[in-house]
Amino acid sequence: MRQTDDQGREIRTVEVDPERAPLIAWAFERYAAGETSVTALLRDLTARGLVSVPSPKRPSRPLGKNALYRVLTNPYYAGVIRYKGALHPGAHEPIVKPALFDQVQSLLKARNAHATRHVQHAHHLKGLLHCGTCGSRMLLDFATNPRGTTYAYFVCSGRASKRTTCTRRAVPVQVAERLVEDSYANITISEDDYRHLAAEVDAAFDKRSAGRDQEFADLTANRARLEAESDKLLAAHFADAIDLPTLKRHQDRVRAGLADIEHRLREHDELHVGGRGFLHDSLRLLADARRAYAHSDDGSRRLANQAFYTRLEITEDEQLHPRLAEPFARRPEARKPKGTPRQAQRPGTAMSRVPVRHFGWS
Which residue among 77, 106, 135 closes a domain?
Answer: 106
Question: Comparing C-alpha atoms, which of 114, 134, 137, 130 is closest to residue 31?
Answer: 137
Q: Are residues 38 and 182 in the same domain?
A: no
Residue 112 lies in a domain: no
Residue 314: half-sphere exposure toward Cβ, Cα within 13 Å: 24
Q: Are residues 62 and 138 in the same domain?
A: no
Residue 117 lies in a domain: no
Q: Are residues 324 and 197 in the same domain?
A: yes
Residue 362 lies in a domain: yes
Rounded distance, CA 57 to CA 357, Å? 63
pLDDT at 144: 78
CATH code at 99?
A: 3.90.1750.20
* Number of domain units in the chain: 2
Question: Comparing C-alpha atoms, which of 156, 187, 214, 194 is closest to residue 325?
Answer: 187
Rounded distance, CA 187 to CA 165, Å? 34
Q: Are residues 21 and 87 in the same domain?
A: yes
pLDDT at 109: 83
Question: Comparing C-alpha atoms, which of 108, 101, 106 is closest to residue 87?
Answer: 101
DSSP state of 147: T
pLDDT at 345: 35
Residue 15: half-sphere exposure toward Cβ, Cα within 13 Å: 7
Per-residue pLDDT in tens (0 to 9) along the chain, 362 residues? 444 545 555 545 567 788 889 999 999 999 998 888 898 999 999 999 998 888 888 888 899 999 999 999 999 898 888 777 677 787 788 899 988 999 999 888 877 764 544 444 568 898 889 999 999 999 998 887 777 788 889 999 999 888 899 998 899 999 999 999 999 888 888 788 888 887 887 787 777 666 566 677 777 888 888 888 888 888 888 888 888 888 888 888 888 888 888 877 777 666 665 667 777 777 777 787 888 888 888 888 888 888 889 999 999 999 999 998 887 776 545 444 444 333 333 333 333 333 333 322 22
DSSP state of 58: S
Q: Are residues 60 and 183 in the same domain?
A: no
**pTM here?**
0.44
Which residue among 106, 140, 160 closes a domain?
Answer: 106
Q: Are residues 126 and 21 in the same domain?
A: no
Reduce the DSSP state of residue 60 to 3 states and report it: coil
Rounded distance, CA 146 to CA 328, Å? 46
145: amino acid identity, one letter: N
Residue 215 lies in a domain: yes
CB 139 within 8 A of CB 151: no
Q: Are residues 173 and 49 in the same domain?
A: no
163: amino acid identity, one letter: R
pLDDT at 356: 30
CB 197 within 8 A of CB 276: no
Straight-line distance from the first to the last Cα atom of the chain, in angstroms, rounded to the nearest whole number: 67
Q: Are residues 264 and 157 in the same domain?
A: yes
Residue 70 lies in a domain: yes
Q: Are residues 196 and 79 in the same domain?
A: no
**How many other β-carbons are positioned within 10 Å of the β-carbon of residue 219?**
17
Which residue among 62, 77, 106 closes a domain?
Answer: 106
Rounded distance, CA 38 to CA 46, Å? 12
Residue 141 lies in a domain: yes
Rounded distance, CA 212 to CA 268, Å? 9
Give the residue numbers spanning the domain of 262: 122-362
Q: Are residues 39 and 185 in the same domain?
A: no
CB 187 within 8 A of CB 331: yes
Give 309's contacts (C-beta < 8 A, 6+ positions apart): 128, 322, 323, 324, 325
pLDDT tens-digit map of 120-130: 456 889 888 99
Residue 302 lies in a domain: yes
CB 261 within 8 A of CB 253: no
pLDDT at 274: 63
Rounded distance, CA 294 to CA 196, Å? 25
Residue 116 lies in a domain: no
Q: Are residues 207 and 354 in the same domain?
A: yes
Q: Are residues 154 and 278 in the same domain?
A: yes
CB 67 within 8 A of CB 57: no
